[in-house]
Amino acid sequence: MRLGFGLVGLLVALAIVAVVARKQLGATRVAVPPAVQERQGPAGGDGAAPSVRVQGEQLQQQVQRQMEALMQQPRGLPDDAQ
């Protein structure tokens, strides 16, 4: 009887660990923004999805362009005249 409860408890703990592990692995997948998907077009002409390296480079270029655009905006002067 004790062995049965121990085995059931072990199986329940294993199931909980499996569910948590599956959720963690599912959370590591990175979603590609739609703007990147629209601009890339088919890779190699065969309609295959681009590699992770290409997606990473596109994302880096997008972030760099956004940062450069933000850096070009004039900064407001502080209100120190009190």
Q: Which residue has the higher pLDDT, 81 or 59?
A: 59
pTM: 0.35
Are 41 and 23 spatial neighbours (Cβ–Cβ below 8 Å)? no
Sorted by where each begins, the domain ranges of the chain are: 1-28, 31-42+50-71
CB-based contacts of 36, cutoff 8 Å, min separation 6: 55, 58, 59, 62
- How buried is residue 59: exposed, middle or buried, by Cβ count under 10 Å (0-12/13-18/19+)? middle
Confidence of residue 75 (pLDDT cuts 50, 70, 90): confident
CB-based contacts of 58, cutoff 8 Å, min separation 6: 36, 39, 40, 50
For residues 61 and 67, what is the distance between their CA atoms, to the nearest angstrom?
Answer: 10
Report the pLDDT value the prediction gives residue 9, as an integer from 0 to 100.
Answer: 96
